[in-house]
Chains A and B, each alone.
Chain A
Amino acid sequence: MVVVTKQELQFRKFEELACISSGVHQLHPVAPFLVILAYIITLTSYPSDAFINLIPLTLFPPIFARLARLPLGLLVRSTLKVLPLIIVIGILHPLIDTRPMQIGSFTLHHGWLVFASLLIKGFLTILANFLLISTLGISGLQRAMKTLGLPPVFYLLFTMVYRYIMLLMEEVYRVLRAYELRSGRKPKLRAQEWGSLPGGILLRTYEQGLRIQHAMEMRGYSPKQPFGKEQSLERKDILFAASWLAVFVCLRMEFFHG
């Protein structure tokens, strides 16, 4: 059955992007992971009213997207959808922080600077996040986990949560549609239904979970089992990560600004 919830669309979008063939996609997943982590750390290390200094860092996403052959426009749109939360927090600042600030011939509240800084940091960190998952996808993520030494138990648990999310979303979707058809209104549960509707799904899910556990044990699973081979890092991976790290450090040092 083909069920399309908007969450599933989101998963599919990134899975498809992760299948793109590019130089970056072919690197060991740990390399882009470290680069983007370093980028986020660099961004967030700036003080709360830094703005002009952040501008060079805005070049990273388009360059990375180009190298990874990712559709930047699509990712920017996804980022903008998530931005409102930052805006809500940020908008308080011009109201609270009313110290005057001179910019050329204009006088602004200092709070606007903080707001702008938050916006740009928020935008860039979220965009970087999407760049990462578009490069890695779930399999790249799993490989990165293995290499970074995450214990197999967590790896397996995470894998299974991801694997069964689609199934469960479909089930919840079906149950809600059945509710809608029989109640003649949008599925917003009334107090007497708070327990039984999700509870029913929970019980079925629980039983399925036990069956899956049995299936795993039948195929030899034990929590102490090591899991899977690791992919070794190559020179190109280290070079990629190291060069971007150097760029970020230099930018942060304001090396180029003197």
Chain B
Amino acid sequence: MADISIRVEGLSYTYPDGWKVLSDVSFELRTGTSVALVGANGCGKTTLLWLIAGLLEAEQGTVYIDEILLDRKNVRTLQKKLGLAFQHPDDQLFMTTVRQDVEFGPRNAGYEEDEISRRAEEAMKRTGCLHLSDRPPYRLSGGEKRMVSLATLLATDAEILLLDEPTNALDPRSRRNAINLLGELEHTRLIATHDLDMALDICDEVMVMHRGSIAARGPAQLILKDRPLLESVGLESPLSLVLP
């Protein structure tokens, strides 16, 4: 594993309808670190995650995963190192039971049945959803779906996690469970989020996005205390820093 998990250079992207959502984005992520990507709705967070995951092709700029250039030929290979947690877990849980969903990744990777079961069990245990293994994803609560979607990624060989709003629409306890889990992981984590309190809790650094580019970057403690900066990009300070 390289020192730098993700390197992005001069990335730009325009949607087919003409909306330029990202312009000239560049940054590096050290292996094992956890970085929050914050910004107002529509600033390009999800698009950036998708570009890094190889789901979209940049019109300009390059993406390096583990120092390997991401291009059409190797996108499938590099995707094996990545785990993308979608904004809506329903996009990610498409089998008829939780177990089948968690086993989906390792199964496609070609592991033996025993190994597939072992990985699935471990992932479900770690995310606290082993008791849900035979349930249909449809019937799960929001929090449960979120944990299962994390389990589907932990069962694979992914070393780098791209997480899109992982605490969105969760009740306080589920949110706490998700935050605790994400904080414990050893993976490189890039977390797009509105949940600034979570960012403060578990992220080493924060990148602030504004209108398609990176407006600021720094240690979480510093950036999230900078009220003028946050307000200038349409955000507010996290409650835990505001409340006495």
A and B touching (C-beta < 8 Å)? Answer: yes
B113: A residues at CB distance < 8 A: 229
If A139-B96, A160-B94, A215-B91 touch, does A220 touch B82 (CB 8 Å cutoff)? no
| B127 contacts partner chain A, Cβ-Cβ < 8 Å | no
The dominant DSSP class at the A interface is: helix
Please indicate the chain B residues that have their CB under 8 angstroms from the CB of A218 in the complex: 53, 55, 79, 82-84
- Alpha-carbon distance A222/B80, docked complex (angstroms): 13
The answer, yes or no, to whether B109 is at the interface (CB within 8 Å) is yes
A212 is an interface residue with CB less than 8 A from chain B = yes
Q: Which of A160, A208, A211, A219 is within 8 Å of B108, CB to CB?
A: A219
User: At the interface, yes or no: B13 with Cβ under 8 Å from chain A?
Assistant: no
B97 adjacent to chain A (CB < 8 Å): yes
Least CB distance, A128 to chain B, in whole angstroms: 24
- In Å, the complex CA distance between A214 and B94 comes to 12
* Contact A220 to B108, CB < 8 A, known contacts A162-B96, A163-B95, A163-B136: yes
Q: How far is the CA of A76 from the CA of B152 in the complex (A)?
A: 41
Closest to B50 in A: A214
Chain A, 166-180, contact with B by CB distance < 8 Å: what is the 0/1 string? Answer: 110000000000000
B84 neighbours in A (Cβ, 8 Å): 214-215, 218
B105 at the interface (CB under 8 A from A): yes
Indicate which residue in A142, A167, A217, A220 contacts B96 across the interface (CB closer than 8 Å).
A142
Residues from chain B with a CB closer than 8 A to the CB of A162 are 96
Asked whether B108 lies within 8 Å of A221 as measured between CB atoms, the reply is yes
Pick the residue among A167, A217, A228 that contacts B107 (CB under 8 A).
A228
Which of B76, B92, B138 is A166 in contact with, Cβ under 8 Å?
B138
Write the nearest CB–CB distance from A55 to chain B, whole angstroms.
Answer: 39
Q: Is B115 an interface residue (CB 8 A)?
A: no
Which residue on chain B has the smallest CB distance to residue A221? B108
Kindly report which residue of chain A lies nearest to residue B91, judged by CB atoms: A211
For B79, the chain A residues whose CB sits under 8 A away are 217-218, 220
How distant is the Cα of A138 from the Cα of B95 in the complex, in angstroms?
11
Find chain B residues with CB under 8 A from A21 CB. Answer: none
Q: Which residues of the other chain, B, contact A166 by a CB distance below 8 angstroms?
A: 138
A216 within 8 A of B: yes
Q: Which residue of B lies closest to A229 (CB)?
A: B113
Q: Shortest beta-carbon distance, B154 to chain A, in Å?
A: 12
Q: Name the CB-closest residue of A to B113.
A: A229
B80's closest neighbor in chain A, by CB?
A: A220
Q: What is the CA–CA distance of A166 and B93 in the complex, to the nearest angstrom?
A: 13
- Interface check A159, CB cutoff 8 A: yes
Roughly how many angstroms separate A225 CA and B105 CA in the complex, as a whole number? 12
Q: How far is the CB of B192 from chain A (nearest CB, A)?
A: 15
The answer to whether A211 and B86 have CB atoms under 8 Å apart is yes
Is A163 within 8 A of B138, CB to CB? yes
B89-119 interface bits toward A, Cβ cutoff 8 Å, 1 = contact, 0 = none:
0111011110010001101110001000000
Query: Which chain A residues border B100 with CB–CB below 8 Å?
Result: 159
Kindly state whether residue B137 has any CB partner on chain A within 8 Å. yes
CB distance from B169 to the nearest CB of A (A): 12
The residue of chain B having its C-beta at the shortest distance from the C-beta of A215 within the complex is: B92
The 3 closest A-B pairs by CB, nearest first: A220-B108, A219-B105, A211-B91
- Chain A to chain B contacts (Cβ below 8 Å), 29 pairs: A138-B96, A160-B95, A162-B96, A163-B94, A163-B137, A166-B138, A167-B90, A208-B91, A211-B86, A211-B88, A211-B91, A212-B92, A214-B55, A214-B84, A215-B91, A215-B92, A216-B94, A216-B104, A217-B76, A217-B79, A218-B55, A218-B82, A218-B84, A219-B105, A219-B108, A219-B156, A220-B108, A225-B108, A227-B107
